[in-house]
Structure 1
Amino acid sequence: MNTVIETLLNHRSIRNFEDRALSAEQIKTIVECAQAASTSSYVQAYSIIGVKDPEKKKQLAALAGNQSYVEENGHFFIFCADLHRHDVAGEMEGIEVQESLESTEKFMVAVIDAALAAQNAAVAAESMGLGICYIGGLRNQLQEVTELLKTPNRVIPLFGLSVGYPAADSGKKTRLPFEHIYHEDEYQQDQGLYKKQLEEYNETISAYYKERTGGKRTDTWTSQMANSLKTPRRMYMKDFVENKGFNRK
């Protein structure tokens, strides 16, 4: 096992950071590592907004559901799906690109590109001894977030990444069983086995919560997922995405 694999396997979300800003060199290194990620057909359909302004971070924390670690961290990165520059490229070259940019395929490319870049950034940060936490709560109130960040048409903030020096460690949650995630040659459809794997995972997760909370919490993974999914969230997203010039075709 090498240090890269050790870093990956040791990942956990950090939600309590020291009051210590990242240096300009650290920020540049993390962004350059993000840019080194694979990108579909060299499209590079994403942008990263770094937020230093304390007041702006405070507002973003409120918009994300009052998550303190959006405001209190070493640096806050926001990863955006970005086809704005491709609109500009079409204009510069005198080529009509609107139909392509509004396709579901290009929307998927932009989201995937941003996710790949973000994971490179996360691994880079963790390899430097920093902690990270992804912030999906920015999508709670995306209109307000886009206004605060002044993002143009064809740019959508997808999620944030809080990065900083960990003030406290957090427990590492066991992931789903390898056999449940990895399918060879075709998707495994034995529902009896499928449910058995989930039941075994439920026991592991319940024990994790019981130990971590001194018995106050013993919920299972499937109960978490089912209860979370019973109430639809962010149902404005389809209209919002289309209004920003994505996923219309």
Structure 2
Amino acid sequence: MNEVIKLLKSHRSIRKFQDKRVEEEKIKMIIESAQCASTSSFVQAYTIIRVEDMDTRKEIAKLSGDQIYVEKCPLFLVFCADLNRLDLACKMNNTHMIEGYTEPLIIGTVDAALAAQNTMVAAESMGLGGVYIGGIRNDPYKVCDLLNIPKNVYPLFGMCLGYPNQDPEIKPRLPLDVVFKEEKYSTEGDEEKIKEYDKVISEYYLKRTRGKRDDSWSKQMAEKMGNELRPHMREFLKSKGFEMK
């Protein structure tokens, strides 16, 4: 197992950080690494916003479900899918950008996600840790107001980064052959494998919480998917120019 594989397989979500700023040179290298991520047709349809203002941080932490580490982390980034820059490119070349189609939305979302994963891996390679904050989509309208996010751009998620002040165990993932299929999609045997995985996850939570939480993966997913998930997102995306035609 080489050092890159070892780094990738050691990922944990870090929510507690040392009271130590991330050096500017490291931040520069992390963002440059983000820019090296693959991008569909070279469009580079994302923008990364560093948020330093503590009043803004406090508000985003509250909007995200009172996730205090948004406020406390040394470095907080917001990743946006961004077609606004492409609109500018069209205007610079006397062309009108055709708006509202679903494919550019997918392209921007994927580009931002790929850049974010490069960001996390680069940060971890420097001894930092972090966690993604999807909770910014709880109230994306307010987040856009706070960060002056224009039409044709939407905030996808935040990311807390810093020097870890905790050492959590690695959370076990689904069995490889549940997510990796040969030739064709198949669910054969998945239920039994997930039942076994549920036992592993239950043991993980019992150990992590010293017996206070007994939970499983399938139970968590049933509770999550049995409820509406941010039903405001479709209208929000339409309001930002992503009509999904």
TM-score where L is the length of structure 2: 0.97
Paired residues for 1:141-160 under 5 Å: 141-160=139-158
Matched with 2:172 is 174
SS of aligned partner of 1:28: helix
2:238 is aligned with 1:242 = yes
Matched with 2:131 is 133
The question of whether the paired residues in 2 share the 8 Å contact of 1:20 and 1:165 is answered with: yes
2:23 is aligned with 1:23 = yes
The amino acid that maps onto 2:190 is Y
Matched with 2:207 is 211
Paired residues for 1:221-240 under 5 Å: 221-240=217-236
2:72 is aligned with 1:69 = no
Matched with 1:195 is 191
Matched with 1:39 is 39
User: Separation in 2 of the partners of 1:231 and 1:179?
Assistant: 28
The question of whether the paired residues in 2 share the 8 Å contact of 1:73 and 1:162 is answered with: yes
Paired residues for 1:76-91 under 5 Å: 76-91=76-91
The amino acid that maps onto 1:52 is E
The question of whether the paired residues in 1 share the 8 Å contact of 2:105 and 2:244 is answered with: no
Displacement of 1:121: 0.4
SS of aligned partner of 2:139: helix
Once the two structures are superposed, what CA deviation does each residue of 1:154-195 show, in whole Å capped at 9, x if it has no partner?
1101000100010111121100000101001111232xx110
Displacement of 1:96: 2.1
SS of aligned partner of 1:105: helix
Matched with 1:112 is 110
The question of whether the paired residues in 2 share the 8 Å contact of 1:20 and 1:73 is answered with: no
The amino acid that maps onto 1:246 is F
CA-based RMSD: 1.0
- Identical amino acids, percent of aligned pairs: 48
Displacement of 1:41: 0.3
5+ long unaligned stretches in structure 1: none
Q: How many residues align?
A: 245
Once the two structures are superposed, what CA deviation does each residue of 1:193-216 show, in whole Å capped at 9, x if it has no partner?
110011010010011111222222
User: Separation in 2 of the partners of 1:18 and 1:112?
Assistant: 31
The amino acid that maps onto 2:56 is K
User: Separation in 2 of the partners of 1:139 and 1:169?
Assistant: 28
Matched with 1:184 is 182
User: Separation in 2 of the partners of 1:65 and 1:214?
Assistant: 25
Deviates more, 1:105-114 or 1:224-233: 224-233
The amino acid that maps onto 1:198 is I
User: Separation in 2 of the partners of 1:48 and 1:238?
Assistant: 22
User: Separation in 1 of the partners of 2:87 and 2:244?
Assistant: 15
User: Separation in 2 of the partners of 1:245 and 1:234?
Assistant: 18
The amino acid that maps onto 1:177 is P
The question of whether the paired residues in 2 share the 8 Å contact of 1:107 and 1:247 is answered with: no
User: Separation in 2 of the partners of 1:189 and 1:120?
Assistant: 31
Displacement of 1:247: 3.8
5+ long unaligned stretches in structure 2: none
The question of whether the paired residues in 2 share the 8 Å contact of 1:154 and 1:245 is answered with: yes
Displacement of 1:125: 0.1
Once the two structures are superposed, what CA deviation does each residue of 1:35-70 show, in whole Å capped at 9, x if it has no partner?
000000000000000011222111111111110110
The amino acid that maps onto 2:204 is Y
Displacement of 1:26: 1.3
Once the two structures are superposed, what CA deviation does each residue of 1:82-109 show, in whole Å capped at 9, x if it has no partner?
00011111112111222xx421111000
SS of aligned partner of 1:34: helix
The question of whether the paired residues in 2 share the 8 Å contact of 1:135 and 1:159 is answered with: yes
TM-score where L is the length of structure 1: 0.96
